Amino acid sequence: MLARAVDRVEFGSTKHLYFRLCDPILIDGGRMGFFVDRETGVKCFILPARELRIVWAQGDTPQYWRWIHHPESRFSEVAELLGVWWLDIKGNINSRMLSKWSNYSAYLVFKLSNTASGLSYPLQEASVTVGALVSRFSVRLMEEEQSSRLRPFFPRPGYMRNFLRHANLPQEPLEDLLVETPNDPNVPDEADELQHDQWPDPNEQERRDRGMVGKPQTRWDGWMEILLGEFYNEEGDDRDVTMSFSEIKGGNYKSGLIVQGIEIRPNK
């Protein structure tokens, strides 16, 4: 791992090296962060936003996302959401890179801008997939009082189809994602804002009551994080670990999310 470090790691003893690696270092030309969990010695990794698959953040679509330098990020760039209706973020890591016989958790590491909106409702879906095993959570990036009003989106005929084709997204589930323009002549092109309770979700109240909605926590470095899922790495077989954060069903406008990356570390 030391050979992959961006900057030379100085140490005087094995013990000194261990505690030095408890603080994250950049490896692979700055395309990944690495550190060792102080309590367990388990290997931990941070995938920066540039190494994630963020729909609409790659390519010639600067109206949706932009890449900026953030003074509080260890990476050269972070992704700032300017505005989308379709929010989909995925990251991958090979299980061989991780410590064997270890329980891991994956977290989205982010901040919210002062103008963030649309990130409290509908609930977002977070998941971690390893082979046929899936760990899935409903999460909320913002408290409801932080984003008390949402602007619904009523696309004109054909808009969503062109939107998805331009994004080079799979066409199979297309029909399920299309939203017809309301026939009510009283609905304007840009619909009036609606309160949360006008967007009924029959399962959300049950998830709330059972404490099943994940909420963000403040990290030691000033960023926020939210749990995407958990998994167990057995013998470190050659398997992809796919981590996902998405909200693609509500059709509401979302903005103000600043993504630093995804962190993989042992369960506590």
Q: pTM for this one?
A: 0.77
Beta bridge partners of 162: none
Range 37-153+191-266: architecture per CATH? Sandwich (2.60)
Read off the amino acid at residue 82: L
User: pLDDT tens per residue, the chain (268 residues)?
Assistant: 888 888 888 888 888 888 999 999 999 999 999 999 999 999 999 999 999 999 999 877 889 999 999 999 999 999 999 999 999 999 999 999 999 999 999 999 999 999 999 999 899 999 999 989 999 999 999 987 554 444 444 444 444 554 455 455 544 443 443 333 344 444 334 333 333 333 444 454 444 434 478 999 999 999 999 999 999 999 877 899 999 999 999 889 999 999 999 999 999 8
- DSSP-assigned letters across all residues of 47-99: EEGGGSEETTTSSS-TTTEEEE--TT-SSS-EEEE--BS-EEEEEEEEGGGSP
d(CA 58, CA 108): 19
Read off the amino acid at residue 251: G
Closest CA to 125 of 227, 259, 213, 247: 247
